[in-house]
Structures are given as C-alpha cells and as structure tokens.
Amino acid sequence: MSLGPVMVDVVGTALAPTEREQLHHPLVGGVILFSRNFESVSQLQALTHDIHGWREPPLVIAVAHEGGRVQRFRAGFTPLPPCGAIGSLYDEDPAAGRLLARSAGFVMAAELLDCGVDISFAPVLDIDRGASAVIGNRAFHQDPEVVAELARQYIAGMASAGMGATGKHFPGHGGVAGDSHAELPVDERMFIDIEHTDLVPFAHLAPVLAGIMPAHVLYPQVAPEPAGFSPFWLQEVLRRRLQFNGVIFSDDLSMAGARGAGDLAARAQAALAAGCDMVLSCNDPGGLPGLLAGLQGYENPAAQLRIARLHGRGAWGDGPLKTLQEYTEACRNLQQWAVKTGDGTSC
C-alpha cells in the first residue's frame, strides 16, 4: 500500500481502535504527534513502533520540535535553544553561532530518530521583523542572509543525524502581526519586496530541504489565495523558479487561516490542487471522515515518491545514541551555551 496525501493526528499516548482503522486508510500517509501524545521516552518509542508497524511502507511520523517554546517532548529530551538565541550568539561570535545551530539540529534530530520519529517540521526560515508574535524568537534573525546561513548549519546537523529538514513558513510569515491559528493574516507587500527579503532563505536552501510548509497568509498583491492554496506560490515560484523537488506540506487545515477554502474536505482538495503533496488534518477528528471521503480516488504518484523519501535513518545504526561521539560533542556545545545564558539545557 502506497503512502497517501493526508497526515493525521491521534488523541492520546497509545492508539485507539478507531485510530488504527483510520491509519489503515489508503489516503493516510503520516501521523503528526503533539505534547499530548508524550509522557516518556519509552512510551513514545512504543507508540511510534506501533504506528510504523501498522502499514507497509510505514507511515511517516512527524512532530514540530524546533526548540524554545515549540518543543513537544520534554522529559528525557534535551531542551533546545530558540532559533532567535542562536542568532543572538551569531551576532556576538559568528563561528559560535554556526556551531550552536549545527549542534541543535543534530541533537534534535538524533533524539527524535532514536524514538522512531521520522521528521521534525523545522527549521523556521521566517525573518524576524518584530511584527509577528507567533514567530518572534522562533526565527533565527532579522537579516535574511543570516537566517539562511544559520538554517543551513541547522539542516546540516539534522542531515548528519539522518533526518531531512522542512523549512517553514513559505514565502514568509514574519511580516504580519496576525496569528494564522486564529485568523487569516494579510501581507500587502508586492512580490519584489518579498522576493528580496523573506524569499531569500528559501531560495538559498531549496536544494537541501526535504520539505517546505507554506504559510496560511494572504499576499493579495501577488495572488488571490493564501500561499498554501496558491498555484502561483507553490507551482510557479516554489517548483519552477526555486526548483524545489521535495515534499510540500500544507500547514494544519484546521487553523483559522485555512477556513476561507471551505470545509475540511474542500480545504484539502484546494491545497492538493494548488500543489501540496501532503495535507495536515489536526485537532478535528470529527472532520476527518469527510475529508477522506472527499479525496476518494485521489492519486499523485510523483507526490507518493517524494513522501516515501521522508523516512528517517538514524546514523548510529543499532548502537546507543548517547555513546555516539557527535552526539556527545553536540550536547557539550549546547551545555556551554546554557551555562553562558543561564538556561537549563542538559543532555
């Protein structure tokens, strides 16, 4: 059975019988986890083992685990610095900032892979313009070139651990104050203004990203639809101009920024038609059956191949992660930053 275009969530720390049935649906291709799905490392490993064992090829398991305030798993995981703290260190010492970015990417990816999680929706490639509270210190920096440089190091760390990176939120969420979880933000800039600022990290990093997630933001001077529902942004800019060949994920279709596209099934149809490979349906279990029914008969072989390449590969094989030299060194770098700043980071 091939992997379908829908990524779903689950309610608790173990699969319910109805969730097992949903995961077997041919249109389902992945599972996204949240803090509610975690109570311990051993429990998480059991949950991911169960999810992976339910299908062949295994479903892709994802989480948003960036560091700072967006880190879904805590106990037994290394607390990761927010990207903005990495940018602040870069301003003081560029070499130290690059090293911290790479170390954070490696530790994040290694610990997740060790627990059976295939991908993290990271890093954030937005520019910190001081306008968006929902982005804020999730962004590396206010300079697009510095964002690209630090994100490249972060991605290299993830790759060294065996995980592909997903950049977000294309083409840039940092220029609007609105939170797309609660409303549809509107960015009134012209394309040329976005191209020379927010698009810069995506243009630099498109060749090394496994995935990109567009923003639920409307850019009315550029296209009539929010970016995640826009053929112009996804097909013309991302695929043709930036030559991106990885997976395009929708952001969560239950967010307020997506509701203008209709009910959940209509949102999924619109996102896939615009160019998304995989759509996320989170926190709306009652709407999932209708979404799956609305996509009946949908098939995209090229997208299925891209999705199948997302499975993580732990670089240390079957040995204990914490005996890996690169992990030990990366943790030491994080610890040095923590001591300097007073953060409680430890491996």
Would you give per-residue pLDDT tens digits along the chain (347 residues)?
A: 689 999 999 999 999 999 999 999 999 999 999 999 999 999 999 999 999 998 889 999 999 999 989 999 999 999 999 999 999 999 999 999 999 999 999 999 999 999 999 999 999 999 998 877 788 899 999 999 999 999 999 999 999 999 999 999 999 998 887 555 667 889 999 999 999 999 999 999 999 999 999 998 999 999 999 999 999 999 999 999 999 999 999 988 886 655 555 788 999 999 999 999 999 999 888 889 999 999 999 999 999 999 999 988 876 666 788 788 999 999 999 999 888 887 755 56
Q: How far is residue 11's CA from residue 331's CA, in Å, rounded to a whole number?
A: 32
Q: In the structure encoding, which two tokens stand for residue 104, read together?
A: 């954070």
Beta bridge partners of 214: 170
CA 123 from chain centre, in angstroms, equals: 7
117's tokens? 């999680």
Q: Which CATH superfamily is domain 6-341 in?
A: Glycoside hydrolase, family 3, N-terminal domain (3.20.20.300)
Amino acid, single-letter form, for residue 182: A
- Rounded distance between C-alpha atoms, residue 22 and residue 28, angstroms: 8
Strand, helix or coil at 175?
coil
What is the per-residue pLDDT for 184?
A: 82
Task: Say if CB 51 and CB 61 are below 8 A apart.
Answer: yes
pLDDT at res. 136: 87
Q: Is the four-CA dihedral 125, 126, 129, 130 of positive or negative sign? A: negative
| Alpha carbons 75 and 40: distance in angstroms, whole number | 6
For residue 4, give Cα distances in angstroms to 53, 224, 264, 272: 16, 28, 17, 12
- Give the active site residues: 181, 251
Can you list the alpha helix ranges (DSSP code H) found in 81-238?
83-92, 94-114, 144-161, 191-195, 199-205, 231
What's the Cα-to-Cα distance from 296 to each of 7, 54, 264, 271, rounded to whole Å?
15, 21, 14, 15
Q: Which residue has the tokens 């053929």?
A: 231
Distance (Å) of CA 249 to CA 90, 154, 254: 30, 20, 14
What gap in Å lies between CA 80 and CA 118, rounded to an integer? 18
Enter the DSSP assignment of 197: T
Burial of residue 260, with CB atoms counted within 10 A of its CB: 0-12 exposed, 13-18 middle, 19 or more buried: middle
CB 57 within 8 A of CB 118: no
Nearest to 202 by CA among 237, 164, 231: 237
Backbone angles phi, psi at 145, to 5 degrees: -70, -35
Q: How far is the C-alpha of 291 from the C-alpha of 5, rounded, in Å?
A: 11
Fill in the DSSP letter of residue 130.
Answer: S
Report yes or no on whether pTM surpasses 0.85: yes
Distance from C-alpha of 41 to C-alpha of 111, rounded to nearest angstrom: 10
| Residue found by looking up tokens 């530790």 in the block | 107
